[in-house]
A and B are shown apart, each in its own frame.
Chain A
Amino acid sequence: MTGHSIPDKSGQFIGQFDVRVDAETVRQFDNAISLNHSEPDNSTPAVALTYPACWLGLPEIKQAVLATLGEKVTIESHTLVHLEQSFQILAGLEIGARYKLDVQLQGPEPDGRCRVIANVKDIQNVDVLNMSGVFILVNLQDVLS
């Protein structure tokens, strides 16, 4: 599929983060994306395909990405609007397991677009999942002024 054009170049390494598949969050996430809202399900489901995107919203990861985009870019002043996202699943995520999340940033381009690339490995360093998202940086102050 043709995506939003971000030059294919090596990204800036943001950091490696320890993340965990939390059973309660998995259950809440699965209920939130359920196609059948008639009966809340309290059982523990399999980890949803898009669940790992939650990790990119963790404050320390989000702030690290925003800080790389500019000195004055903070969670309070800016937000990232999603233009495109992909997941490549190499192995299933296990509830309760810990993983290592390597995050890279490409951009920002002059129009504010950037690509966040995240690779998930298990604690044995085996690749589990690759994520890539294209975002546009929006200054909330510009919108509100």
Chain B
Amino acid sequence: MNTSLVRGYRLPLLAIPVITQDQINAYLSASGDDNPLHTDPELARRIGLDGIPIPGMLVMALVSKFVQQWCYCRTVSKLTTRFISPVIVDGGIIIEARVVALDVASHRAILRITVAQNGKVAAMAEAETDLANA
């Protein structure tokens, strides 16, 4: 185990500059999600949003990719995400994470992850990971 990995370690952040309607449509098509909120700007406006909200499960999928691409992650055994505020199409997101629990003996860590858009927290997640030997 790499000794630089300690509780409080911050993962390199991931900035996704923009999530487009085409990306949303590709996700909706692949996932079978037919919620009109993700395609109808008028419906989004009527519920008080500034634009079409990105599916929460797309945000969660991006979080899972972010964790799985972390160099110390071997596998993810549990991932929980709370969707706090909508991520709006044609905007970007920043995903940040830190190690909040570390068991060196069992090679396991818990990450706390934040997804933000324009400085506002959009989702919070927690991932339990089995660590790769570094």
Residue positions of A touching B, CB distance < 8 A: 1, 3-4, 25, 28-29, 31-35, 37, 48-50, 53-54, 57-58, 75, 79-89, 140, 143-144
Contact = CB atoms under 8 A, between A and B. Distances in A.
30 contacts: A1-B82, A3-B80, A4-B82, A28-B29, A29-B27, A29-B31, A31-B30, A32-B26, A32-B27, A33-B27, A33-B61, A35-B65, A48-B61, A53-B57, A54-B30, A57-B33, A57-B34, A75-B34, A79-B37, A82-B56, A84-B83, A85-B80, A85-B81, A85-B83, A86-B79, A86-B80, A86-B81, A87-B78, A88-B78, A143-B47
Given A48-B64, A88-B78, A143-B43, 6 more contacts: A3-B80, A31-B30, A49-B61, A83-B83, A85-B56, A89-B75
Contact of B31 (A57, A79, A84): A57
A35 B64 contact: no
Contacts, number: 106
Interface residues of B, number: 42
Give the most central of B30, B33, B66: most A CB within 10 Å.
B30
A33 B58 contact: yes
B109 to A, nearest CB: 15
B104 interface: no
B14 interface: yes
A58 B80 contact: no
Interface of B: 14, 16, 23, 26-27, 29-37, 43, 46-47, 55-58, 60-62, 64-66, 68-69, 75-83, 112, 124-126
Contacts of A3: 80, 82
Given A28-B26, A143-B47, A144-B43, A82 B31 contact: no
